[in-house]
């Protein structure tokens, strides 16, 4: 069982005593405990009802690219402005796929499915045909890596540089297409906005297709016929007017739903919890560090990463920590903290992540639930913060993973069933939220926000401003 610690022990101890008496409204000096007490399930449900009404009025969906999405953005922005926050809605671009096509590579008379890197850069009708050649350096990042590849499709690996750099090098030597061999580990391959920078037909191929290419010297044919258009959507960002802006605590949640789903647990619960925290904190509380509430347009489309890519080095260094709220009310709930100390799956997490996990785990233990680790991967809204070197933490009650027998004994619920059996379906409505789970996880997020808004120091603190070297 994890140790129960507070982020700033001396401060939190004093504030726990202060929270024994009811603070006046509004509370000018919030404590982590007082903030958590204000973020009740009823306060969160008030926002959930509004999100549910938006979905109902828009064919049961709040997915990006739909009127329900736009209405969700307007509701969040309006609710924050009504509380006195200054709100921005920065745009991000994404590819709206009009026609997935059937991208293929024909090798020795056999068609292999491939992934078209950019639906904006396809082949002419009938595809492009040429020899398949490889550069002297497998990554193919510079024109000097190539010999004569005029009229050829060049084959490179997925390491060392972006797909745009690989394309530019191949174009400089006269290639008519690019084939990138990848086993799925494509970190750093696709830079922000890459799809608009690709003009050459570029396909991502797997090892099996690469093996087929190695067995032939005959020309091959690449057909890339997916089509898409560039769409724009909005994030919602609001920050307190008080607190140190060189030590910003960012609390985030994706605001969209899955296609054809109301998205009330996923991720209306995260959105509603952050709105309830913003309501309780207010824009002018006497806090040590500024708090930025960020509602990401879409987890699937990497909206958080696109937002971070627009920040300069100083703005990145100003971010002290990132707290993620995702699926806080699953009906077959587990109680997970993101694995900041990497005890479940060893890998590198930014310094300070372990302290955030201890802060959240300590609150959950006091709330009567025993937390477990949720490994962090490259898919969550926290992922770009993780890659940038920002300390990351958060809470979730689980998604489509199956609850084990041990977990059912610890938390109750059904072993062998998903934590959220309705995830991503039309049935992810108000009935798909567990009141008890939300009454624990929402205040837990509030406690973490309040803790680091007061101080980033202490046993569970995060690195000071002069110790941060974020990676853009």
Average pLDDT, the chain: 89
Q: Same structural domain for residues 53 and 155?
A: no
340 assigned to some structural domain: yes
**What integer pLDDT is reported at residue 188 of this predicted model?**
65
- Structural element, H or E, at residue 73: helix 67-82
Domain finish residue from 225, 255, 289: 225
CATH number assigned to the domain comprising residue 281? 3.40.630.10
CATH code for the domain of 200 = 3.50.30.30
Q: What ranges in 268-399 are assigned the alpha helix state H?
A: 269-281, 303-309, 313-317, 353-366, 383-388
348 φ, ψ (degrees, to nearest 5): -85, 125
Q: What percent of the chain has pLDDT over 70?
A: 91
Q: Which of 225, 245, 266 is the last residue of a domain?
A: 225
Claim to verify: residue 35 and residue 71 sit in the same structural domain: yes
Supply angle C-alpha 271, 276, 282, rounded to 5. Answer: 120
Asked whether residue 2 is domain-assigned, the answer is no
Indicate if 269 and 184 belong to the same structural domain: no
Q: Are 185 and 272 members of one domain?
A: no
Q: Which of the four pLDDT bands, split at 50, 70 and 90, describes residue 10?
A: very low
Task: Look at residue 21 and give its three-state secondary structure.
Answer: coil
The answer on pLDDT for 216 being more than 90 is: no
Judgement on whether residues 189 and 42 belong to the same structural domain of the protein? no
124 part of a folded domain: yes
Residues 200 and 238 in one domain: no
Give the distance, in angstroms, between the CA of residue 253 and the centroid of all CA atoms in the same chain.
Answer: 8
From 194, 225, 256, give the residue that closes a domain. Answer: 225
Domain assignment of residue 197, given as a range? 101-225
Whole-number pLDDT of residue 343: 58
Residue 392 pairs with which residues in a beta bridge? 322
Whether residue 20 has pLDDT greater than 80: no
- Answer yes or no: is 31 within a domain: yes
pLDDT given for residue 345 in this prediction: 53
pLDDT bin (cut points 50, 70, 90) of residue 94 is confident
Short-list 435, 71, 45, 53, CA closest to 279:
45
Pair 267, 164 in one domain: no
The first and second tokens of residue 221, run together, are: 């044919």
State how far the Cα of 212 lies from the Cα of 200, in Å rounded to an integer. 22
- In a domain, residue 1? The reply is no
217: closest CA among 157, 134, 112, 148?
134
Task: Give kind and range of the element (H or E) at residue 399.
Answer: none
Same-domain status, 243 and 325? yes
* Residue-level pLDDT at 342: 65
Q: Do 235 and 310 contact (CB within 8 A), yes or no?
A: no
378-421: per-residue pLDDT in tens? 778 999 999 899 999 999 999 999 999 999 999 999 999 999 99
| 137 counts as catalytic | no
Residue with tokens 């690449």: 222
What are the tokens at 433? 């939220």
Residue 160 lies in a domain: yes
Instruction: Give a yes or no: residue 472 inside a domain.
Output: no
Q: How many domains are contained in the chain?
A: 2
In a domain? residue 133: yes
Catalytic residue of the set 37, 299, 315, 348? 299
- Note whether 86 and 108 are same-domain residues: no
Q: How would DSSP label each residue in 240-268?
A: -SSSEEEEEEEEEEE----TTS--IIIII
Is the same domain home to 365 and 323?
Answer: yes
Residue 44, pLDDT > 80, answer: yes
Tell me, yes or no, whether 258 and 309 share the same domain. yes
Does 127 share its domain with 50?
A: no
Question: Mind listing the pLDDT tens digit for each residue in 135-182?
Answer: 999 999 999 999 889 999 999 988 888 999 999 999 999 999 999 998
The pLDDT assigned to 21 comes to: 40
């Amino acid at each position: 069982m994890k140790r129960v610690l507070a982020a700033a022990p001396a401060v939190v101890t004093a504030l726990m005593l202060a929270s024994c008496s009811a603070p006046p409204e509004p509370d000018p000096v919030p404590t982590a405990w007082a903030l958590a007490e204000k973020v009740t399930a009823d306060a969160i449900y008030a926002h959930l009802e509004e999100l549910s009404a938006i979905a109902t009025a828009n064919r049961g969906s709040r997915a990006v690219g739909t009127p329900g999405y736009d209405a969700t953005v307007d509701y969040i922005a309006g609710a924050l402005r009504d509380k006195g926050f200054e709100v921005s809605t920065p745009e991000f671009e994404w590819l709206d796929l009009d026609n997935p096509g059937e991208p293929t590579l024909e090798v020795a008379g056999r068609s292999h499915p491939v992934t078209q890197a950019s639906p904006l850069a396809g082949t002419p009708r009938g595809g492009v045909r040429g020899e398949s050649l490889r550069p002297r350096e497998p990554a193919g990042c510079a024109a000097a890596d190539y010999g004569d590849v005029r009229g050829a499709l060049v084959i490179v690996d997925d390491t060392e540089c972006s797909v745009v750099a690989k394309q530019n090098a191949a174009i400089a030597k006269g290639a008519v297409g690019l084939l990138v061999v990848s086993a799925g580990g494509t970190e750093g391959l696709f830079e922000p906005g890459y799809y608009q920078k690709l003009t050459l037909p570029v396909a991502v191929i797997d090892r099996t297709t690469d093996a087929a290419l190695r067995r032939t010297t005959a020309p091959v044919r690449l057909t890339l016929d997916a089509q898409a258009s560039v769409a724009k959507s909005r994030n919602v960002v609001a920050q307190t007017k008080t607190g140190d802006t060189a030590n910003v605590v960012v609390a985030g949640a994706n605001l969209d739903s899955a296609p054809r789903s109301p998205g009330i647990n996923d991720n209306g619960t995260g959105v509603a919890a952050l709105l309830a925290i913003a309501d309780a904190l207010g824009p002018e509380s006497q806090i040590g560090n500024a708090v930025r509430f960020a509602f990401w347009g879409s987890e699937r489309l990497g909206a958080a990463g696109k937002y971070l890519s627009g920040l300069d080095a100083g703005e990145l260094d100003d971010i002290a920590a990132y707290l993620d709220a995702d699926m806080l009310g699953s009906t077959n709930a587990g109680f997970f903290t993101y694995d900041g100390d990497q005890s479940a799956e060893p890998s590198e997490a930014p310094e300070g992540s372990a302290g955030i996990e201890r802060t959240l785990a300590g609150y959950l233990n006091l709330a009567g639930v025993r937390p477990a680790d949720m490994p962090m991967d490259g898919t969550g809204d926290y992922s770009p913060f993780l890659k940038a070197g920002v300390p990351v933490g958060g809470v979730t009650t689980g998604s489509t993973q199956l609850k084990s027998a041990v977990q059912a004994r610890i938390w109750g619920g059904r072993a062998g069933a998903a934590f959220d059996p309705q995830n991503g379906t039309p049935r992810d409505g108000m009935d798909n939220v567990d009141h008890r789970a939300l009454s624990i996880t929402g205040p837990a997020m509030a406690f973490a926000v309040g803790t680091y808004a007061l101080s980033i120091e202490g046993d569970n603190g995060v690195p000071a401003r002069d110790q941060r070297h974020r990676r853009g």
